[in-house]
Amino acid sequence: MKRGFQIVSKYKNENINLPYRATKQAAGYDIESACDFKLPSIWKLGFLKVLWAIKHEKSVSDKNVQKAKDILKPYLVPTGIKVHMQPNEVLIIANRSSGPLKRGMILPNGIGVIDSDYYNNNNNEGEIFVQLMNFGITDREIKKGERIGQGIFMPFLTVDNEENNGKTRTGGFGSSGK
């Protein structure tokens, strides 16, 4: 089997749909959310207060700074799926063009990079998460099964005479260090 999506074990009875291409020649496999969740708008008073204080050179309490940081934190949407592919391939997670346009949703990491060695890692079995933020002015209720991004398979190149340390991936989101 060259490449494909599978359901992560803990979601096996959760009616998860594997990513799929919406049209015959679509490049992206649409990825659904594995749960209902609320994606809060970033334009919350706590955040605006801190911006106002900075602009007017007022002091801001640590508590309010923390509140603002929490508001600006990307939401990690679980998908319940994992992907296997060839060692020279990567799955790029991209926003849907309707994401920002219709729902104010952006991927704060620009694109997501899913490495082939993320598959079945010991930490989370290789579950793909989609980072999202809501730049719209209203909170958004996202339903389980809503398409929140798309995955595109790509081959990638490596440099000559590379000294690869051959380390095993132990997870994602900073697992390899700072």
Ligand X SMILES: O=c1ccn([C@H]2C[C@H](O)[C@@H](COP(=O)(O)OP(=O)(O)OP(=O)(O)O)O2)c(=O)[nH]1
Quote the tokens at residue 6.
Answer: 């599978």
Q: For tokens 């989370």, what's the residue?
A: 124
Query: Toward ligand X, which CB reaches closer, 87 or 174?
Result: 174
Beta 129-134 vs 4-7: how paired, if at all? unpaired
When asked if residue 15 is in the footprint of ligand X (CB under 6 A), the reply is: no
Nearer to ligand X by Cβ, of 131 and 134: the residue is 131
Considering only the stretches 58-66, 67-75, 155-163, 169-177, report the one whose residues sit in contact with ligand X under the rule CB under 6 A.
169-177
Rounded-to-integer distance, Cα 104 and Cα 133, Å: 8
Considering only residues 108 to 167 of the shown chain, the ones binding ligand X according to CB under 6 A are 109, 112-115, 118, 128-131
**Beta-bridge mates of residue 41:** 134
Binding mask 61-100 for ligand X (x = CB under 6 A): --------------------------------x-------
Provide the 3-class DSSP secondary structure of residue 64: helix
HSE-CB for 98 with a 13 A CA cutoff: 7
Binding residues vs ligand X (CB under 6 A) = 93, 109, 112-115, 118, 128-131, 171-176
